[in-house]
Structure 1
Amino acid sequence: MVEDGAMTREPSEIALGMQDLREVTGFAAACAEVVLDVFESDRPDDSRPRDAVSAAWEFVRGGERGKALRDRAWAALRAARSADTAAAREAARAAMAAAAAPYLHPLARATQVKHILGAGAHAARAAELVADDDRGVGVEHLRQLAQRAAPAVVDVLARFPAAPDGGGRVGELTRMLDDGLRARTRIEQDADR
Protein backbone atom coordinates (compact mmCIF):
# COMPACT_ATOMS: atom_id res chain seq x y z
CA MET A 1 0.00 0.00 0.00
CA VAL A 2 1.22 3.49 -0.74
CA GLU A 3 0.13 6.33 1.49
CA ASP A 4 1.64 9.81 1.11
CA GLY A 5 4.63 8.37 -0.74
CA ALA A 6 5.36 5.66 1.85
CA MET A 7 4.12 2.14 2.09
CA THR A 8 2.21 1.31 5.23
CA ARG A 9 2.97 -1.69 7.40
CA GLU A 10 0.72 -4.60 8.16
CA PRO A 11 1.73 -7.63 10.27
CA SER A 12 3.56 -9.53 7.47
CA GLU A 13 4.74 -6.42 5.68
CA ILE A 14 8.07 -4.65 5.67
CA ALA A 15 8.48 -0.89 6.06
CA LEU A 16 9.27 0.36 2.57
CA GLY A 17 9.12 3.94 1.35
CA MET A 18 9.30 5.47 -2.10
CA GLN A 19 12.92 6.53 -1.50
CA ASP A 20 13.78 2.90 -0.71
CA LEU A 21 12.29 1.88 -4.06
CA ARG A 22 14.28 4.58 -5.85
CA GLU A 23 17.54 3.40 -4.21
CA VAL A 24 16.88 -0.24 -5.13
CA THR A 25 15.94 0.76 -8.68
CA GLY A 26 19.10 2.84 -9.06
CA PHE A 27 21.18 -0.18 -8.06
CA ALA A 28 19.27 -2.43 -10.48
CA ALA A 29 19.58 0.06 -13.34
CA ALA A 30 23.33 0.40 -12.77
CA CYS A 31 23.66 -3.40 -12.81
CA ALA A 32 21.73 -3.75 -16.08
CA GLU A 33 23.38 -0.82 -17.80
CA VAL A 34 26.77 -2.56 -17.68
CA VAL A 35 25.60 -5.36 -20.00
CA LEU A 36 23.35 -3.46 -22.42
CA ASP A 37 26.05 -3.71 -25.08
CA VAL A 38 25.83 -7.52 -24.86
CA PHE A 39 22.23 -7.33 -26.06
CA GLU A 40 22.88 -4.53 -28.53
CA SER A 41 25.71 -6.42 -30.23
CA ASP A 42 23.19 -9.21 -30.88
CA ARG A 43 20.24 -6.96 -31.78
CA PRO A 44 21.61 -3.50 -32.69
CA ASP A 45 18.24 -2.20 -33.91
CA ASP A 46 16.28 -3.21 -30.80
CA SER A 47 16.18 -0.48 -28.15
CA ARG A 48 13.74 -2.19 -25.76
CA PRO A 49 16.28 -3.16 -23.07
CA ARG A 50 17.93 0.28 -23.18
CA ASP A 51 14.47 1.88 -23.00
CA ALA A 52 13.70 -0.23 -19.91
CA VAL A 53 16.89 0.88 -18.18
CA SER A 54 16.15 4.50 -19.14
CA ALA A 55 12.67 4.17 -17.64
CA ALA A 56 14.21 2.79 -14.44
CA TRP A 57 16.57 5.79 -14.23
CA GLU A 58 13.64 8.12 -14.83
CA PHE A 59 11.87 6.57 -11.85
CA VAL A 60 15.03 6.98 -9.74
CA ARG A 61 15.03 10.70 -10.58
CA GLY A 62 11.46 11.10 -9.30
CA GLY A 63 9.36 9.68 -12.12
CA GLU A 64 6.07 7.86 -11.77
CA ARG A 65 5.72 4.21 -10.91
CA GLY A 66 3.07 3.51 -13.50
CA LYS A 67 2.01 1.82 -16.70
CA ALA A 68 4.83 3.20 -18.88
CA LEU A 69 7.47 1.74 -16.58
CA ARG A 70 5.69 -1.61 -16.45
CA ASP A 71 5.31 -1.63 -20.24
CA ARG A 72 9.04 -1.05 -20.69
CA ALA A 73 9.80 -3.98 -18.39
CA TRP A 74 7.52 -6.28 -20.42
CA ALA A 75 9.05 -5.00 -23.67
CA ALA A 76 12.54 -5.86 -22.42
CA LEU A 77 11.33 -9.36 -21.56
CA ARG A 78 9.97 -9.74 -25.09
CA ALA A 79 13.33 -8.52 -26.40
CA ALA A 80 15.02 -11.27 -24.38
CA ARG A 81 12.84 -13.84 -26.08
CA SER A 82 13.87 -12.54 -29.51
CA ALA A 83 17.63 -12.54 -28.87
CA ASP A 84 19.84 -15.00 -30.69
CA THR A 85 22.33 -15.72 -27.92
CA ALA A 86 21.93 -16.76 -24.29
CA ALA A 87 24.15 -13.87 -23.21
CA ALA A 88 21.93 -11.35 -25.02
CA ARG A 89 18.85 -12.91 -23.45
CA GLU A 90 20.33 -12.52 -19.97
CA ALA A 91 21.33 -8.91 -20.67
CA ALA A 92 17.76 -8.10 -21.74
CA ARG A 93 16.42 -9.85 -18.63
CA ALA A 94 18.71 -7.65 -16.53
CA ALA A 95 17.10 -4.61 -18.15
CA MET A 96 13.64 -6.05 -17.52
CA ALA A 97 14.54 -6.61 -13.86
CA ALA A 98 15.75 -3.01 -13.55
CA ALA A 99 12.45 -1.66 -14.84
CA ALA A 100 10.57 -4.07 -12.55
CA ALA A 101 12.55 -3.10 -9.43
CA PRO A 102 10.14 -0.27 -8.50
CA TYR A 103 7.49 -2.94 -8.01
CA LEU A 104 9.23 -4.46 -4.99
CA HIS A 105 6.38 -5.31 -2.64
CA PRO A 106 6.63 -4.77 1.11
CA LEU A 107 5.93 -8.45 1.76
CA ALA A 108 8.20 -10.51 4.00
CA ARG A 109 8.79 -13.09 1.27
CA ALA A 110 12.09 -14.34 -0.07
CA THR A 111 10.84 -14.06 -3.65
CA GLN A 112 10.79 -10.27 -3.31
CA VAL A 113 14.60 -10.30 -3.14
CA LYS A 114 14.59 -10.87 -6.92
CA HIS A 115 13.27 -7.32 -7.34
CA ILE A 116 16.35 -6.06 -5.52
CA LEU A 117 19.03 -8.37 -6.95
CA GLY A 118 17.58 -9.81 -10.16
CA ALA A 119 19.20 -7.27 -12.48
CA GLY A 120 22.60 -7.94 -10.93
CA ALA A 121 22.22 -11.71 -11.17
CA HIS A 122 21.11 -11.60 -14.82
CA ALA A 123 23.94 -9.19 -15.65
CA ALA A 124 26.47 -11.50 -13.99
CA ARG A 125 25.10 -14.44 -15.96
CA ALA A 126 25.36 -12.45 -19.19
CA ALA A 127 29.00 -11.68 -18.35
CA GLU A 128 29.69 -15.37 -17.71
CA LEU A 129 28.14 -16.41 -21.00
CA VAL A 130 30.12 -13.82 -22.96
CA ALA A 131 33.25 -15.36 -21.38
CA ASP A 132 32.37 -18.87 -22.59
CA ASP A 133 30.44 -19.69 -19.40
CA ASP A 134 33.36 -18.84 -17.12
CA ARG A 135 31.81 -18.97 -13.64
CA GLY A 136 34.72 -16.99 -12.22
CA VAL A 137 33.70 -14.03 -14.37
CA GLY A 138 30.23 -14.06 -12.83
CA VAL A 139 31.61 -14.26 -9.31
CA GLU A 140 33.95 -11.32 -9.97
CA HIS A 141 31.06 -9.38 -11.51
CA LEU A 142 29.01 -9.94 -8.35
CA ARG A 143 31.92 -8.91 -6.13
CA GLN A 144 32.14 -5.60 -7.96
CA LEU A 145 28.38 -5.06 -7.73
CA ALA A 146 28.40 -5.78 -4.01
CA GLN A 147 31.13 -3.18 -3.49
CA ARG A 148 29.14 -0.55 -5.40
CA ALA A 149 25.80 -1.15 -3.67
CA ALA A 150 24.80 1.89 -1.63
CA PRO A 151 24.21 1.36 2.10
CA ALA A 152 20.52 2.18 1.50
CA VAL A 153 20.21 -0.81 -0.87
CA VAL A 154 21.86 -3.11 1.66
CA ASP A 155 19.52 -1.75 4.35
CA VAL A 156 16.44 -2.54 2.24
CA LEU A 157 17.74 -6.01 1.43
CA ALA A 158 18.33 -6.74 5.12
CA ARG A 159 14.61 -6.20 5.81
CA PHE A 160 13.70 -9.21 3.64
CA PRO A 161 14.31 -12.93 4.11
CA ALA A 162 17.29 -14.43 2.26
CA ALA A 163 16.94 -15.13 -1.47
CA PRO A 164 14.97 -18.30 -2.27
CA ASP A 165 16.32 -21.62 -3.47
CA GLY A 166 16.04 -22.67 -7.10
CA GLY A 167 16.22 -20.61 -10.25
CA GLY A 168 19.16 -22.35 -11.93
CA ARG A 169 22.40 -20.45 -12.36
CA VAL A 170 20.67 -17.04 -12.11
CA GLY A 171 19.14 -18.14 -8.80
CA GLU A 172 22.56 -19.24 -7.60
CA LEU A 173 24.04 -15.86 -8.58
CA THR A 174 21.17 -14.11 -6.79
CA ARG A 175 21.94 -16.02 -3.61
CA MET A 176 25.65 -15.27 -3.93
CA LEU A 177 24.97 -11.54 -4.28
CA ASP A 178 22.47 -11.71 -1.43
CA ASP A 179 25.03 -13.44 0.81
CA GLY A 180 27.72 -10.92 -0.13
CA LEU A 181 25.57 -7.91 0.66
CA ARG A 182 24.30 -9.38 3.93
CA ALA A 183 27.88 -10.22 4.96
CA ARG A 184 28.76 -6.59 4.32
CA THR A 185 25.97 -5.58 6.71
CA ARG A 186 27.29 -7.95 9.38
CA ILE A 187 30.83 -6.59 8.98
CA GLU A 188 29.59 -3.00 9.26
CA GLN A 189 27.54 -3.87 12.36
CA ASP A 190 30.55 -5.55 13.98
CA ALA A 191 32.67 -2.48 13.25
CA ASP A 192 30.12 -0.26 15.00
CA ARG A 193 30.35 -2.29 18.23
Structure 2
Amino acid sequence: MDLDELRAVTAYAITCAEPALARFESHRPGDGRPRQAIEAARAFAEGGPRTKAIRDGAWAAQRAYREARDAGQRAASEAARAAVAAASAAYLHPIPKATQVWHILGAAAHAAHAAELDGGAPPAAVAPGPTVIAVLNRYPPAPTGRGRTGELLRELDRRPRG
Protein backbone atom coordinates (compact mmCIF):
# COMPACT_ATOMS: atom_id res chain seq x y z
CA MET A 1 0.00 0.00 0.00
CA ASP A 2 1.44 3.33 -0.95
CA LEU A 3 1.12 6.72 0.75
CA ASP A 4 -1.35 8.02 -1.82
CA GLU A 5 -3.70 5.15 -0.97
CA LEU A 6 -3.29 5.76 2.76
CA ARG A 7 -4.00 9.44 2.22
CA ALA A 8 -7.15 8.62 0.24
CA VAL A 9 -8.40 6.28 2.98
CA THR A 10 -7.60 8.88 5.65
CA ALA A 11 -9.33 11.66 3.70
CA TYR A 12 -12.41 9.46 3.33
CA ALA A 13 -12.43 8.68 7.06
CA ILE A 14 -12.12 12.38 7.89
CA THR A 15 -15.04 13.24 5.62
CA CYS A 16 -17.14 10.62 7.40
CA ALA A 17 -16.11 11.72 10.90
CA GLU A 18 -16.50 15.48 10.47
CA PRO A 19 -20.30 15.57 10.89
CA ALA A 20 -19.85 13.95 14.30
CA LEU A 21 -17.65 16.80 15.56
CA ALA A 22 -20.57 19.20 15.97
CA ARG A 23 -22.49 16.49 17.78
CA PHE A 24 -19.59 15.88 20.16
CA GLU A 25 -19.00 19.58 20.76
CA SER A 26 -22.70 20.22 21.48
CA HIS A 27 -22.52 17.71 24.33
CA ARG A 28 -19.01 18.56 25.50
CA PRO A 29 -18.31 22.20 24.66
CA GLY A 30 -14.74 23.25 25.09
CA ASP A 31 -13.30 19.79 24.50
CA GLY A 32 -11.33 20.10 21.28
CA ARG A 33 -9.54 16.76 21.40
CA PRO A 34 -11.58 15.00 18.68
CA ARG A 35 -11.26 18.02 16.39
CA GLN A 36 -7.49 18.11 16.99
CA ALA A 37 -7.24 14.41 16.09
CA ILE A 38 -9.05 15.03 12.81
CA GLU A 39 -6.92 18.08 12.04
CA ALA A 40 -3.70 16.11 12.60
CA ALA A 41 -4.98 13.38 10.27
CA ARG A 42 -6.02 16.00 7.72
CA ALA A 43 -2.44 17.31 7.54
CA PHE A 44 -1.34 13.82 6.52
CA ALA A 45 -4.23 13.34 4.07
CA GLU A 46 -3.29 16.62 2.39
CA GLY A 47 0.27 15.49 1.75
CA GLY A 48 2.12 15.92 5.02
CA PRO A 49 4.08 13.19 6.78
CA ARG A 50 2.60 10.74 9.24
CA THR A 51 3.67 12.31 12.50
CA LYS A 52 3.44 11.64 16.18
CA ALA A 53 0.74 14.34 16.29
CA ILE A 54 -1.68 11.93 14.58
CA ARG A 55 -1.14 9.22 17.18
CA ASP A 56 -1.20 11.74 20.04
CA GLY A 57 -4.42 13.20 18.65
CA ALA A 58 -6.00 9.76 18.39
CA TRP A 59 -5.06 8.93 21.99
CA ALA A 60 -6.43 12.26 23.21
CA ALA A 61 -9.70 11.69 21.31
CA GLN A 62 -9.81 8.20 22.85
CA ARG A 63 -9.63 9.79 26.31
CA ALA A 64 -12.45 12.16 25.28
CA TYR A 65 -14.47 9.11 24.21
CA ARG A 66 -13.95 7.44 27.60
CA GLU A 67 -14.83 10.59 29.54
CA ALA A 68 -18.03 11.08 27.53
CA ARG A 69 -18.93 7.41 27.95
CA ASP A 70 -18.31 7.56 31.70
CA ALA A 71 -20.49 10.67 31.90
CA GLY A 72 -23.34 8.77 30.21
CA GLN A 73 -23.06 10.81 27.00
CA ARG A 74 -23.25 7.93 24.57
CA ALA A 75 -23.74 10.01 21.43
CA ALA A 76 -20.74 12.17 22.30
CA SER A 77 -18.65 9.10 23.05
CA GLU A 78 -19.44 7.58 19.65
CA ALA A 79 -18.70 10.90 17.98
CA ALA A 80 -15.28 10.98 19.65
CA ARG A 81 -14.67 7.44 18.47
CA ALA A 82 -15.35 8.61 14.91
CA ALA A 83 -12.46 11.04 15.33
CA VAL A 84 -10.24 8.29 16.76
CA ALA A 85 -11.08 6.13 13.74
CA ALA A 86 -10.33 8.96 11.32
CA ALA A 87 -6.88 9.48 12.83
CA SER A 88 -6.29 5.73 12.95
CA ALA A 89 -6.97 5.45 9.22
CA ALA A 90 -3.49 6.87 8.62
CA TYR A 91 -2.11 3.68 10.18
CA LEU A 92 -4.01 1.09 8.14
CA HIS A 93 -1.88 -2.07 7.90
CA PRO A 94 -1.47 -3.86 4.58
CA ILE A 95 -1.97 -7.25 6.28
CA PRO A 96 -5.31 -8.55 4.96
CA LYS A 97 -7.19 -8.99 8.23
CA ALA A 98 -10.88 -8.25 8.68
CA THR A 99 -10.15 -6.03 11.68
CA GLN A 100 -8.39 -3.56 9.38
CA VAL A 101 -11.77 -2.68 7.86
CA TRP A 102 -12.29 -0.60 11.03
CA HIS A 103 -9.47 1.70 9.84
CA ILE A 104 -11.27 2.23 6.54
CA LEU A 105 -14.94 2.42 7.57
CA GLY A 106 -14.87 2.85 11.35
CA ALA A 107 -15.25 6.63 11.26
CA ALA A 108 -18.42 6.31 9.18
CA ALA A 109 -19.85 3.61 11.45
CA HIS A 110 -19.16 5.56 14.65
CA ALA A 111 -20.56 8.79 13.17
CA ALA A 112 -23.75 6.99 12.11
CA HIS A 113 -24.14 5.41 15.54
CA ALA A 114 -23.60 8.78 17.24
CA ALA A 115 -26.42 10.23 15.14
CA GLU A 116 -28.73 7.34 16.05
CA LEU A 117 -27.98 7.73 19.75
CA ASP A 118 -28.60 11.46 19.58
CA GLY A 119 -31.98 10.95 17.93
CA GLY A 120 -30.89 12.74 14.80
CA ALA A 121 -30.87 11.75 11.21
CA PRO A 122 -27.83 9.72 10.30
CA PRO A 123 -25.26 11.61 8.28
CA ALA A 124 -25.58 11.16 4.55
CA ALA A 125 -23.55 8.16 3.54
CA VAL A 126 -20.35 9.27 1.91
CA ALA A 127 -19.57 7.03 -1.03
CA PRO A 128 -15.97 5.91 -1.03
CA GLY A 129 -14.00 6.76 -4.13
CA PRO A 130 -12.36 4.19 -6.39
CA THR A 131 -9.06 4.21 -4.50
CA VAL A 132 -10.78 3.55 -1.16
CA ILE A 133 -12.89 0.78 -2.72
CA ALA A 134 -9.77 -0.81 -4.25
CA VAL A 135 -8.06 -0.76 -0.85
CA LEU A 136 -11.17 -2.11 0.91
CA ASN A 137 -11.35 -5.00 -1.55
CA ARG A 138 -7.89 -6.16 -0.44
CA TYR A 139 -9.37 -7.08 2.94
CA PRO A 140 -11.83 -9.74 4.02
CA PRO A 141 -15.33 -8.60 4.97
CA ALA A 142 -15.72 -6.67 8.22
CA PRO A 143 -15.55 -8.83 11.36
CA THR A 144 -18.51 -9.82 13.49
CA GLY A 145 -19.32 -8.31 16.88
CA ARG A 146 -19.02 -4.84 18.42
CA GLY A 147 -22.73 -4.25 18.85
CA ARG A 148 -24.64 -1.66 16.89
CA THR A 149 -21.52 0.08 15.60
CA GLY A 150 -20.31 -3.27 14.27
CA GLU A 151 -23.65 -3.80 12.52
CA LEU A 152 -23.32 -0.40 10.87
CA LEU A 153 -19.74 -1.19 9.86
CA ARG A 154 -20.78 -4.43 8.19
CA GLU A 155 -23.60 -2.63 6.35
CA LEU A 156 -21.15 0.02 5.13
CA ASP A 157 -18.72 -2.71 4.12
CA ARG A 158 -21.27 -4.54 1.99
CA ARG A 159 -22.29 -1.50 -0.09
CA PRO A 160 -19.11 -0.83 -2.11
CA ARG A 161 -18.30 -4.52 -2.46
CA GLY A 162 -21.65 -5.10 -4.18
- Shorter-chain TM-score: what band? over 0.9
Cα displacement (A) at 1:114: 0.5
* Bigger Rg, which one: 1
Partner of 2:149: 170
2:15 to 24, 30, 38: 30
Distance between the aligned counterparts of 1:100 and 1:30, measured in 2? 14
> Alignment length, in residue pairs?
159
Instruction: Specify which structure has the bigger relative contact order, considering alpha-carbon pairs within 8 angstroms and separated by 6 or more residues.
Output: 2
SS in 1 for 2:125: helix
Please tell me whether residue 46 in structure 1 is matched to residue 31 in structure 2.
Answer: yes
- Cα deviations by residue, 1:24-55 (Å, 9 ceiling, x for unpaired): 00000011101101110111111000001111
Q: TM-score, normalised by structure 2?
A: 0.94
Answer with 26-35 or 62-71: which moved more: 62-71
What is the aligned-residue RMSD (CA, Å)? 1.3
Q: Secondary structure at the match of 1:35?
A: helix
Partner Cα distance (2:50, 2:102) in 1: 18
Report sequence identity in percent.
Answer: 55
**Distance in 1 of aligned mates of 2:131 and 2:18:** 20
How is 1:51-90 mapped onto 2 (pairs within 5 angstroms)?
51-83=36-68, 84=71, 85-90=73-78
Q: After TM superposition, which residue ranges in structure 1, 4 or more long, deviate above 3 angstroms?
A: none
Name stretches of at least 5 consecutive residues in structure 2 with no aligned partner: none
Question: How far does the alpha carbon of each residue in 1:56-88 deviate from its partner, in whole angstroms, 9 at most, with x for none?
Answer: 111101122121110000000101111241000
**Deviation by residue 1:163-183 (Cα, 9 ceiling, x = unmatched):** 011111111111000001111
Give me the whole-angstrom Cα distance separating, in 2, the residues matched to 1:175 and 1:75.
Answer: 27
